[in-house]
Each structure stands twice: as structure tokens, then as C-alpha cells.
Structure 1
Amino acid sequence: MTSSVIDSALFKDQYGTEAMRTVFSDETQIQKWLDAWAALAQAEATQGIVPQDAADEIKAKAVYENINMDDVREGFKKTAHPLMPQIKSFTQSLSKEAGGYVHWGATTQDITDTGLVLQLKDAQALIVSQVEDLLRDCLKQADKYKNLVMAGRTHAQHAVPITLGYKIAIWANEFGRHLERLEQAKHRYLVGELAGAAGTLASLGDKGLAVQAKYCDLLGLETPTITWHVSRDGFAEFSDILSMIAGTVAKIANEIINLQRTEIEEVEEGFTMGKIGSSTMPQKRNPMICENIVATTRLVQASAPLGTTAMVQEHERDMTFWQTDWAYLPQICINLSGAMAMLHTVLNQMIVHEDNIKRNLAMTKGMIVSERVMLDLGRYLGRQVAHEVIYENCMKAFEEDKPLLELLLQDKRVTDDVDEATLRELLDPENYTGSSAKMVDRVLAQYSDHLK
């Protein structure tokens, strides 16, 4: 029986992915702790602190199968300690000599912090892969629709024409920047921890820093400059990056929701027979996947700030906040992975209704390119006077529901300097998309390696 949507047989694939759930499973968490103990023993063996035979035995037997989970659970209830039951269970699989060297010179938080970082390293690899998929999805769609003219909207109103590819290329560029953030920041949070009771490595004498460096190297983690038991800014930064990725994912899903409105109906998240939008209204084609995405990303963005609040620590170690790491970090990784998986499906199944895009582009009967007419007329009347002239005609066109061209041809202030043929050309939305296509090409060029 489960009590969370993350693990629910019914909901789990909406709120996460199997791959990310595996990264944060009990089995993986304990295995990462075992990996840390094995690396610690090996590192200490290089400095003559632990016999090599004992270190080799610890490494060979540091597998989850050697942990008795029933004993661990009962031990945790009795001791209220997060690690001692695992140490006791693990040492029972070892010889007396090797068992005596498990956890030598370390403190609990060294192992739990390092284990969590090893999980985040695996999570980061999955997140990077998913962001790359979404970048690739957006690049392909941006290229496909870079010349498809549509209504640009500001303040929920028609503004000036853009292209659909331009809109999607903006999404792609955000994903590209998220990849840069993940790459640039990882050396600040994929860092091993070995520092001892109060962080001074006193338990390892003058060999502490050498052991620490080897320990981190064996685990493929950065070596800390100084102990980070009470410095949780690395996790806060990781959380913030994931929250930003969630923001991009949610923005795209929300945009598709809006573009799928009955009154707009330009883009649809995808539809196949059998997909049901409502239990009572058979006609509904609701953007339910996109709605799921937005809901799931809200969970990420609601939990991510715990990374910042957990930075408030007391003295040299404090358990009140670092235990929250075990809760919120898995949750935001799993939820974000689920949202990205759903968006990947949406972007690959997205339906573009080109006829509706064309229909909506003509909805304001020429007013969507009033800026272009104003700027052309401004060459003769001055920009501000031209704005007043076109404004008056646009407001009249709006109130009387008439084509802007009809009113402009009746205004001597316009026709004294601009003839009908020129006005018709100026009022064609296809001729006023600026550098939309060229900017799409720049995004495609910047991330061309991701299309291969």
C-alpha cells in the first residue's frame, strides 16, 4: 500500500518517472551509503589507516543485498539514529577485522550527505537527458514552423504578427540556458563530504585531507575546499535550477492550454480516439496532459524553497534541517522528471491548426499591423502625429467592426501621402514578422549539436 502519489500505482507516472523513482528508492539510498563506506575504506587503506585486505572485503561486500532491511527498520525504531542500524547490519556480513573498520573516522552526516550527493549525481544525469530531449523537441518544431505567421499577443491581446517557430524557439533557448546552468553549477553541489564530528577531520590526524581527496576521487565527486556540514547553499542552488526548469516546462504547458482554447484553437496538445476530456460533456477535448504538467511543476516550485530555508543551520552540525533534504530533494527531482516526460509527449504529438491561425490573424481586420502603417505614415507626418491618426482610425474600426483599410482610404491625412496599393501591402501580416525567422535560425545554429 502506498500513501503518496509519487509511489501510487494509479498516479505515479503522472507525478514522476520510473527512472527517477529508482534513483531515490530505499535500495539506491542505502547502496549509495555502502558505496561511500567502501570508498572511505579504500581511501584510508592508501594512507595505511585501514589494512588493504579489510578495505577490499568492505568494498566487495558493500552491496544492498547484504543489508537486512527488517533489522534496519527495527533498529531505527529503537535507536532513532538514521545510520547505526545500517552499520550494524552491514558489519554482520563482514569478518570481525573488516567489520571493525567500517565508518572509520567518519560521522553520520559524512555518509548520508555523500550518499545523497551520489543520488543527485544520478538525478542530474537524468534531468540533463530530459532537458536535452525537450530542447531537441523545441528545435525541431521551431524549424518546422519558423515561417508560419500567427498573431503575437501581449497582455492577452493581439499585438503584431510573429511566427509559431519564433515562439517555440524562445522555449528552446530557455532549455539551452538550463543545460548551461546545470553544467556550470554542478561542481558546487556534486561535492563529497568527509569531515568528522565537527568538520575538522581530527579523527584522521594529519592524513585527513589526503583521505578526503581520495575518497571523493573514488566516488567521482568534487573535493570540498572546506567542510560543508552546515553550508547547504549547494543544494539550494540545485533546487533553484530545478525550480527554473519547472517554470519553463509549466510556461510551455500553460501556453498550449491557452492556445487550445475553443475561441483560439491554434495549437492542441494532441488527440487520439479514446482520449476523454470530460465524464459528462462528450464534446470536450481538454488539454488534460498540459494541466497535469502545470500541477506537477507547482509541486516542484512549492518544495524547492526548502533548499534555501535549510541553509539556516546551528553551530557545526544541526539535524533539524538537513533531514529535510531527504524529503524535498527526491520530491522535486521526481516531480520535475514526471512533468518533463509529459511535456516531451505533448511536444511530439502537438497538433497545429494552421487554418485557425490564419483565421485569427485576420480577426482584427488589419489592426494587427497598425504599427507598420503608423511608422510608414510617420515619415510624412512625424511619428507622434501618425500615431494619433492611426489610433483614431483603429478605435473607429474596432467600434464599428470595419476593416482598417476601409477607414484609412477615407482619411485624407493618410491618402495624401500613402496610396491604396501601398496601404494594402502595409496591412499584409505576412510582410511584418521582422526578424522572427532569422532569430529562429540563430537558435538552431547555437544548439545545432543537439539536433544530431
Structure 2
Amino acid sequence: MKSSVLDSDLLRGIFVSEEMREVFSDDSLLQKWLDTWIALAKAEADVGVIPKFAAEEIEKKADINDFDREIIRKGIVDTTHPLIVQIREFTKSVGGKAGGYIHWGATTQDIMDTAVVLQIKQAQEVLVKQLKQFLKKLLQLAEEHAETVMPGRTHGQHALPITLGYKIAIWADEIGKHIERLEAGKERYLLGSFGGAAGTLASIHNDGLAVQKRFCEYLGLVQPTITWHVQRDGFAEFASIIAMISGTIGKIANEIINLQKSEIGEMEEGFKMGQVGSSTMPHKRNPMICEYVVGLTRVVQRNASLSFDAMIQEHERDMTFWTTEWSYLPQICMLTSGGLEQIQGVLERFIVYPDNMERNLNLLQGLIVSENLMLSLGEFVGRGEAHDIVYEVSMKAFEEKKSLIDVVLTDERITNHISEEEAKKLLEPKNYIGLCKTFISRVEEKWGNQDTSIN
């Protein structure tokens, strides 16, 4: 029986990507346990700790199709141990003397942690691919809307004019930095784990580091400086980056929700006949996909916080918080990947309404560019006095529901220095977008060479 959005046949399509779900499937986990034992046996054989024939036999018999999932599931419950049943089943499958060398010198946490790291490594590849595709789309849209002027807003109110391309370029730059973070983090959290019972490698002793090095090389992981059984900062760093990625896509989705409000109507997440916004109001075109994204973002960020709790470990090994990693890491990766999939689709289909943007630019009848008038007047009377004068005329225009230019032209404190023609130019919103296009170019220059390959 399936009972969560992560595996629900009904709901998982709007919350998780199937590609990421496969990364954290039971078959994937079982295979990564086997891959870890193979790498350990081969490393130990290379160094001369176990016979070569044993490593060959272990690799030959490491086929997930030979294992009964129900026996393993029931055995974990009966023994209360996450790995001992699989060790027994694998030993039985290999058989003979070779079977006795499975898990040689290792402890359960070595195998479990390394398998989780292998899952994270694969998950990161999926996420980086998705992020690069998403970044490419954002850069394309930023360029396309480099001159699409719209109101900029601070504190929920009109501030100064910006361009839609500038807004999207800010999103793109953030996504680019997340890709950079993931790439930089590999050296700190894609570590192999082989330390033995208390992490000292006493079971292998003088050959321990040599085995550990070969073990990590076989798995494509980094050899740690010291055993990290009670160092969970790597997973906390990874979880933090995932939470930040999720936060960015949640912010984008939330912005689209706000700008799709009926009173604003500057953009829409996209619509096709057959989409239903409400079961009772036929006219509704709700930003439901964006709402799903914001919702799953909240789940990701709450779950990712468990990574900080898990950093509090006792002595040389502690299972109390270690087990949370088997839960929160798959969840945050699956949900974030699902969110990226959804928001990518939104931006492939989203609709921009430039006419509504222009209408909204003129909503305050010139007040949105009061700063431009103030600075020009400041050249004659000083910034402070200019601020006070423009403040007064702005408040009068607002209260009397008049256009700012009409009020300005009745005030000699302004008209003595600025002509009517110049004042009209100063109060045209499209003339005051600052360096929007320059900033878009800078973002394109920094991140435009990204592709969908995995480095």
C-alpha cells in the first residue's frame, strides 16, 4: 500500500520526478550496497588483504536479481539491523571460502554511508543536469524580455521601473551559483566511508589507508582525511544546498503567483484547455503548478533542517540521528527534482502580458519615477531640499488622484529650474530603467557557457 506523495500512483506526478525516484529506489539502494562490497573486496585483494579469487567471486555474484526483497525486508524487521540480513544472504549466494571475505574489516555504517553517498552522487548528476537546462531557459527569457518594462516593487508597492528580463536574470544568477555550489561541494561530501568498528581501521591496520584509497577510487569517491562516522557536516552541506535550490524555485513560483493576481495580471504560468482551476468556479485560471512548487519547497526546507540535528553525534558512532538521513535525503532530492521539473514546464509555457505591465506602470500617474525628478532638481537645490519638494508634490498628486506632471507644473520651486518638456521626459517610466540591460548582459556573460553536460 502506497501512502505518501513520494510513491503515490495518484499524486507523485506533481511532486517528484521519476528519474530521481529511481535514484532512491530499493533496487538502487541494494545495488549500491553490492557495489560497495565489490569495491571493498577488490581494494583488499589489490593490497593483498584477501585472496584475489574471493574478490572475483564476490563481484560475480553481486546481482540484485538473485536476492529476495521480501526476505531482506522481513529480516531487517526481525533482527532490527539494517544490513545483517543482506550480509548473510550475500554470503550464502557467494558461498565457500570466498563468501567469508564479504564485508571484511568493515562496519555496517561504512557500507550504509557509502551507499547513501553513491545515491547522492547520482542525485547530484540529475540535479545539475536539470539546473543547467533551467538556467539556459532563464537566460533565454532574460534576453527576450530585456526591454519589456514593468513596475519594480519593494514592500509590495511600486518602486522604480525595471524590465522583466532584469527580474529573470536575477533568478538565473542564483541558479548559476547553486550549480557552482554543488560542483564545489563534491570534495567535501562525496566521500567514501571505510573505517571499521570505531573508525580506526584496526581490522586492517597497516594496510588500512591503502585499502581505503583503492576502495574510494573504485567507487569514484573522495578518500576522507579521517573517518567521518560522527562527522555529518557533509550531508548538512548537501542538504543546505538542496534547500537553497528549492528556495530559489519556490521564490520564482511565488513571484509568478503574485504577478498572476487578477489585479496585476502581468504574467501567467501558462494555460491549456482542459486545465481546471476550481471545482466550483468555472472561470478560474489558478497558478496551481506554481502553488505545488511553493508547497513542496516548504517540505524540503523543513526536512533539510534535520541535517543540522544529525550533526549532534555521541562518541564514535551514534544511530539516533544517523537513521534520519535515510529518510530526509531521498525526500529532499525527490521533491526538489520534482519542483525543478514543474517550474521548467511553467517557464516553457508561461505567458507575459506587456500591455498590463504598461498599464500598471502608469497606475500611479508618474509617481513611480519621482526619484528621477528629485535627482534632476537636486542638481539645482541640493538633494535634501529636492526630496522635500518632490515629496510634497507627490503626496498632493497621490491624495488628489492627479498625475504627478500636472502637480509639478504648478509648482514654481520646480518649474524655475526644469522645463515642462524636460519634466515630461523625467517622468516617463520607460526612460528610467537604469542598468537593467547591462546587468542582464553580465549574467549572460557569467553563466551563458553552461550546458547540460555533467562535469
Provide TM-score, normalisation by structure 2: 0.98
Q: CA deviation at 1:442?
A: 0.8
Amino acid corresponding to residue 231 of structure 1 in structure 2: Q
Partner of 2:160: 160
Separation of aligned partners in 1, 2:333 and 2:449: 26
Looking at structure 2, the residues matched to 321 and 434 of structure 1 have their Cα atoms a distance apart, in angstroms, of 51
Q: Which residue matches 2:359?
A: 359
- Partner Cα distance (1:426, 1:73) in 2: 72
| Aligned mates of 1:335, 1:356 — CA distance in 2 | 34
Aligned to 1:215: 215
Cα displacement string for residues 304-339 of structure 1 (whole angstroms, at most 9, x for unaligned residues): 011110011111011111111100000000111111
Instruction: Indicate conservation of the 8 Å contact 2:194/2:212, yes or no.
Output: yes
Q: Is the CA contact (8 Å cut-off) linking 1:232 and 1:310 kept in structure 2? A: yes
Q: Distance in 2 between matches of 1:63 and 1:142?
A: 49
Q: Within 1, Cα distance between the matches of 2:297 and 2:197?
A: 38
1:203 is paired with a residue of what secondary structure? coil
Percent identity between matched residues is: 55
User: Which whole-Å CA distance do the structure 2 matches of 1:129 and 1:218 have between them?
Assistant: 24
Counterpart residue number, 2:278? 278
Give the counterpart letter for 1:293 in structure 2: V
Q: Secondary structure at the match of 1:324?
A: helix
After superposition, the C-alpha distances for 1:246-282 in whole angstroms (9 at most, x for unaligned) are: 1101100000000000000001000111111111111
Q: 2:71 and 2:370 mapped to 1: Cα distance?
A: 75
Mapping 1:184-195, distance limit 5 Å: 184-195=184-195
The alignment's C-alpha RMSD in Å is 0.9
Quote the residue 1:46 is aligned against. Answer: 46
Q: What's the secondary structure of 1:246's corresponding residue?
A: helix
Q: State the partner residue of 2:67.
A: 67
The total of aligned residue pairs comes to: 452
| Corresponding residue number in structure 1 for 2:339 | 339
CA distance in 1, matches of 2:120, 2:219: 13
Query: Would you say the 8 A contact 1:139–1:451 is kept in 2?
Result: no
1:52-451 equivalent positions in 2, closer than 5 A: 52-450=52-450
The CA distance in 2 between the partners of 1:451 and 1:151, in whole Å, is: 32
1:25 aligns with 25
**Partner of 2:153: helix, strand, or coil?**
strand
Offset at residue 382 of structure 1 (A): 1.1
Q: C-alpha separation between the residues in 1 aligned to 2:340 and 2:13?
A: 11
Q: Distance in 2 between matches of 1:120 and 1:289?
A: 27
SS at match of 1:313: coil
Q: Secondary structure at the match of 2:82?
A: coil
Deviation of the 1:70 alpha carbon? 2.0
Residues of 2 paired with 1:54 and 1:282: CA distance? Answer: 68
Q: Quote the offset at 1:388 in angstroms.
A: 1.0
Q: Distance in 1 between matches of 2:13 and 2:224?
A: 36
* Comparing 311-320 and 58-67, the one that deviates more: 58-67
| CA distances 1:69-128 after superposition (whole Å, capped 9, x unpaired) | 122122222211110100111122213121111101100000000000000000010111
Instruction: Give the Cα separation in 2 of the matches to 1:141 and 1:76.
Output: 51
Q: 1:69 & 1:256 partners in 2: Cα distance?
A: 45
Is the CA contact (8 Å cut-off) linking 2:136 and 2:448 kept in structure 1?
no
Give the drift of 1:451: 6.3
1:3 aligned partner: 3
Q: 2 CA distance for matches of 1:80 and 1:351?
A: 54
C-alpha separation in 1, matches of 2:214 and 2:73: 32
Q: Contact 2:20–2:337 at 8 Å: present in 1 too?
A: yes
Whole-angstrom distance in 2 between the partners of 1:259 and 1:12: 27
Are the equivalent residues in 1 in contact too, given 2:132–2:451 (CA < 8 A)?
Answer: no
How far has the Cα of 1:407 moved from its partner? Answer: 0.7
Question: How far has the Cα of 1:53 moved from its partner?
Answer: 1.3
> Which ranges in structure 2 are unaligned for 5 or more consecutive residues?
none
Q: Distance in 2 between matches of 1:348 and 1:74?
A: 46
- Report the Cα distance in structure 2 between the residues aligned to 1:423 and 1:263, rounded to whole angstroms: 29
Give the match for residue 13 of structure 1.
13
SS of 2:56's equivalent in the other structure is: helix
Letter paired with 1:30:
L
SS in 2 for 1:337: helix
Alignment CA distance shift 1:138-1:350 (3 Å)? same
What residue identity is the alignment partner of 1:215? F
Q: How far apart, in 1, do the equivalents of 2:442 and 2:71 lie?
A: 59
- For residues 337 and 73 of structure 2, the distance between their equivalents in structure 1, rounded to whole angstroms, comes to 29
Return the offset for 1:450.
Answer: 2.3
The secondary structure found in structure 2 opposite 1:328 is helix
Q: TM-score, normalised to structure 1's length?
A: 0.99
CA contact (8 A) 1:253 1:343 kept: yes
Letter in 1 for 2:211: V
Moved more, 12-21 or 109-118: 12-21
